[in-house]
Amino acid sequence: MSRDAEVLIFDPRPDDLPSFVAYLAAGGVQLHFALGFGYDPSGAQPDVLRPGLETAGVIPPEDSVDDMLGADEEVPKSEQRRRVLKVVGEYFRLSLPHQTIVSGRLPAALTRRHPPASW
């Protein structure tokens, strides 16, 4: 990967958990994690999203013994993905204006037709 590029990948995998988030910058993996069976981030900045994910109730606080915040209430997987997307969007300052989504064209780049074998 180029040292000048930043790549953010969010693969929600609605029918086949876990969901993946990866952030690549400065020529390497800054953050990578699978969400759905615990939380074990890796990369040069593994904890960069931890505060937001904890606040959103997606993962438990680092020193908690519970599996999830509000362990008494089950958060549906679709809601967990929505919360992750919100945290990622806010942290990386991503925005998709409503009008552009409804009637415009979104920028895109096709880099491969199939996911990596490791996913």
Q: Give the span between the Cα atoms of 81 and 12, in whole angstroms.
A: 6
- Give pLDDT tens digits for 81-112: 888 889 998 998 888 777 877 787 766 666 66
- Give pLDDT tens digits for 55-88: 999 888 887 765 544 445 677 878 888 888 899 9
Long-range contacts of 35-43 (CB under 8 A, 24+ apart): 35/59, 35/80, 35/84, 36/77, 36/80, 38/67
Tokens linked to 8? 């953010």
Please give the pLDDT value at position 66: 56
- Give pLDDT tens digits for 1-14: 556 788 888 887 77
Exposed e or buried b for every residue in 59-81, given b needs 16+ CB within 10 A?
bbeeeeeeebbeeeeeeebeebb
Mean pLDDT, the chain, integer: 80
